[in-house]
Amino acid sequence: MPSLHPLLSGFAPIWALTGVGYVVGRTGLLGPHAEVVLNRFVFHVAMPAALFLMIARTPLDRFANPSMLAFAAGTAVATGLGLFVGRRLFRRKPGESAIGAMASGYVNSANLGIPVTMQVIGDASFVAPVVLFQILLVTPVVLAVLDGGAAGRRALLTLPARNPILLATALGAVFSATGMHLPAELNRSCELLGGAGVPTALITLGISLHNRPPAEGRSRRAEVGLTVAIKTLVQPLAALAVAGPLLHLPAHQLLTVVLFSALPTAQNVYTYAREYGQGAVLARDAVLWSTLASMATLSVISWALGPK
């Protein structure tokens, strides 16, 4: 079993930046509207730049392989179960249920996927197809539900042009398919903007901890607990069932698929929830608690499926 220190090294920046955000919120350093303004910066500026470059630089055929089939199956099971929990068990509105579904199956592939898989298996190449799958397939569906609830069905026709995340995704896909490249100066500008997205999102998440409601109730705590359990236990087990007994993937690929499926909820989910005012508390708590729980589940997976 790999030592705990290499795995913890991937989580340390997340906790550190979230802690910085909490201190910023508690001291009021950036004023009372810091959470809203920073979240809008991430959603409308930094994240679109990062997603555009990531997709533009990645061949679109990267996610057409058996490993991605297993990962997608695990994601489908987790998001479907998360949707059921929100709609049927807790009677949430469609937008809140969509965030709950996303929190149940949308993994932190780039932030944690790269350091964790590099430490455990020495190969982070699976990050690219996972990112493509989540950005090109999962994100548009969730944002369509959120935008439809906020602006009505007719507005969905113009959603790609109005939503910066989807617009950046579409442009990135065009650049990837055609082999086009930005001029060096614009490319560097996008890199600088995109690089600000993750740390700003984590600081915003930390600020939200200081602004959390004084009482959330048993129902909300139960919903968060179920969401975290689906994310950290059900999703990797579903991926394991497909990758092993059904697809008979080699040991190396099996470990990779299950590791990625066990990664915690991405902070992007909180960014989307906060921007649309739907399920932000659930998203925030799912990110935090799944990140904590995944330190244990990732260690167990590494020990159980890793090289002996």
pLDDT tens for the chain, 308 residues: list them: 444 456 667 778 888 999 999 999 999 999 999 999 999 999 999 999 998 998 898 888 777 789 999 999 999 999 999 999 999 999 999 999 999 999 999 999 877 887 787 777 777 778 888 988 998 889 988 888 887 755 555 455 555 567 888 889 889 999 999 999 999 999 999 999 999 988 999 999 999 888 666 546 677 889 999 999 999 999 999 999 999 999 999 999 999 999 999 999 999 999 999 999 999 999 999 999 999 999 899 989 988 987 76
pLDDT score of 285: 94
pTM: 0.85
Domains and CATH numbers, the chain: 4-305 (1.20.1530.20)
Residue whose pair of structure tokens reads 């989540």 in the numeric block? 134
pLDDT score of 4: 47
Question: Among residues 43, 53, 72, which one has the least CA distance to residue 130?
Answer: 72
What is the C-alpha end-to-end distance of the chain, expressed in Å?
A: 8
Cα(173)–Cα(56) distance, integer angstroms: 6
DSSP class of residue 153 equals G
pLDDT score of 215: 47
Q: DSSP for 199-260?
A: HHHHHHHHHHHHT--S--HHHHHHHHHHHHHIIIIIHHHHHHHIIIIIT---HHHHHHHHHH
pLDDT score of 212: 65
Cα(36)–Cα(208) distance, integer angstroms: 10
pLDDT score of 266: 93
Q: Give the CA angle between residues 168, 78, 45 to the nearest 5°.
A: 20
pLDDT score of 3: 47
Cα(207)–Cα(22) distance, integer angstroms: 5
**R_g (Cα) of the chain, nearest Å:** 19
